[in-house]
Amino acid sequence: MKFNTKTIHGGQTHDPAYGAVMPPIYQTSTYAQTTPGGHKGFEYSRTHNPTRHALENSFASIENGKHGLAFGSGLAAIDAVIKLLKPGDEVISTNDLYGGTYRLFTKIYEDFGIKFHFVGMETPSKINSLINKKTKLLWAETPTNPMLNIVDIKALSKVAKTNNILFAVDNTFATPYIQTPLDLGADIVMHSATKYLGGHSDVVMGALVVNNSSLAEKLYFIQNASGAIPGPQDSFLVLRGIKTLHIRMQRHCENAKMIADFLNEHPKVEKVYWPGLTNHKNHSIAKSQMNDFGGMISFTSKNNDYDETIRILERLKIFTLAESLGGVESLSGHPASMTHASIPKLEREKSGVVDSLIRLSVGIEDISDLVQDLKQALE
């Protein structure tokens, strides 16, 4: 089954009760039993719910995995992965990563005795010097948030397998429309399904997908025991969103290319970060592991002027200044004061998150309107 068909049919069956084409919203906390343990596969909705089950099957299908898990948010999904570890274990992570992930790692789990190393992963050889017997997990984003750096998934997979380390990839920016990390050697794929998978800025959710059944059992146990699950209404919304993922992502990518080219030629723009540009430092790796280059773009204005950057953001009319990304509508953001404010200034600037950096989530509106909006804001 091809990807565009999987988004609609992957892992799905018609509802056994009445043949409903779309899985019903099973808004229930519990299920009748004929005798203790005599149920139809569902006993309590924290553990299992038919609507969530349909969604989890869809997650697995589109990522070419065997096991999908849904969580109440992307951070809840990441939290479940870190709960696989024990005090004294070490994690090597991308240094250019979502601020919420950085906060979870450093402000929560460091206090539980887990050590985190943050390093630029564009060159896999940098990682080897940090690996020791306590290293249990490699955590990568690709493309990264917000610098759009590209990590060579196959190369990192080799490092992980050589050292018997779990390898997890945050695939939120790319989506499986563009890349499938499990096929490239990752052990775990994570999504903030709030973003492109949901696609309409109306739900908060996270996802994990794995192939290994033993690993899946551990994660299912954590999912149930910790209880950070989504409800059936949210599960329905994301399942519906996935059905149009392929056509939305096609337009996101098309629009992003036009905007990246426009910004790249604009005299007031210092630098454009988008992996589809041939001058992107990891463009060749992006071409080798991605089917397209995504709808996320970051750029800096000349002179790294904070006040000028805020003025640009305030002048935008179609691009809405807001947290989050991946919805049908175009959004703009200022990572230094918004999504990455939890990262210390010196640390974020080392990875390129300077005061003049603007992040765009390019929506699926008419491209001429989006370009004109940026043009007037940059005047």
Q: What is the largest CA-CA distance in the chain?
A: 73
pLDDT band at 125 (very low <50, low <70, confident <90, very high): confident
Q: What is the structure's pLDDT at 72?
A: 98
Region 219-226: mean pLDDT is 98
One-letter identity of residue 107: K
Asked if residues 22 and 51 have their Cβ atoms less than 8 Å apart, the reply is no
Q: What is the structure's pLDDT at 344?
A: 82
Region 340-366: mean pLDDT is 89
Whether the pLDDT of residue 351 is over 90: the answer is no
pLDDT band at 181 (very low <50, low <70, confident <90, very high): very high
Number of Cβ within 10 Å of residue 226's Cβ equals 15
Whether the pLDDT of residue 126 is over 90: the answer is no
The Cα 31–Cα 232 span in angstroms is: 14
Nearest residue to 299 via CA among 309, 287, 288? 309
Q: Which residues of the chain are in CATH 3.90.1150.10 domains?
A: 245-378
The percent of residues above 70 in pLDDT, for the chain, comes to: 100
Q: How many residues does the chain have?
A: 379
Q: What is the structure's pLDDT at 349?
A: 83
Whether the pLDDT of residue 343 is over 90: the answer is no
Region 160-185: mean pLDDT is 98
pTM of the model: 0.96
Task: Write out pLDDT tens, residues 63-107.
Answer: 999 999 999 999 999 999 999 999 999 999 999 899 899 999 999
**The domain defined by 245-378 carries CATH number 3.90.1150.10:** yes
**Which residue numbers are catalytic?**
46, 98, 170, 195
User: What DSSP string runs through 159-171?
Assistant: HHHHTT-EEEEE-
Would you state the structure tokens that stand for residue 279, as one six-digit string? Answer: 């001058």
Region 111-127: mean pLDDT is 91
The Cα 208–Cα 188 span in angstroms is: 7
Mean pLDDT across the chain: 96
Task: Write out pLDDT tens, residues 265-315.
Answer: 999 999 999 999 999 999 999 999 999 999 999 999 988 889 999 999 999
Nearest residue to 143 via CA among 324, 364, 296? 296
pLDDT band at 341 (very low <50, low <70, confident <90, very high): confident
Residues 122, 127, 133: CA angle, nearest 5 degrees: 155
pLDDT band at 206 (very low <50, low <70, confident <90, very high): very high
Q: What is the structure's pLDDT at 123?
A: 79
Task: Write out pLDDT tens, residues 311-332.
Answer: 999 999 999 999 999 999 999 9
Whether the pLDDT of residue 122 is over 90: the answer is no
Asked if residues 226 and 80 have their Cβ atoms less than 8 Å apart, the reply is yes
At the top level of CATH, the class of 3-242 is: alpha beta
Q: Which residues of the chain are in CATH 3.40.640.10 domains?
A: 3-242
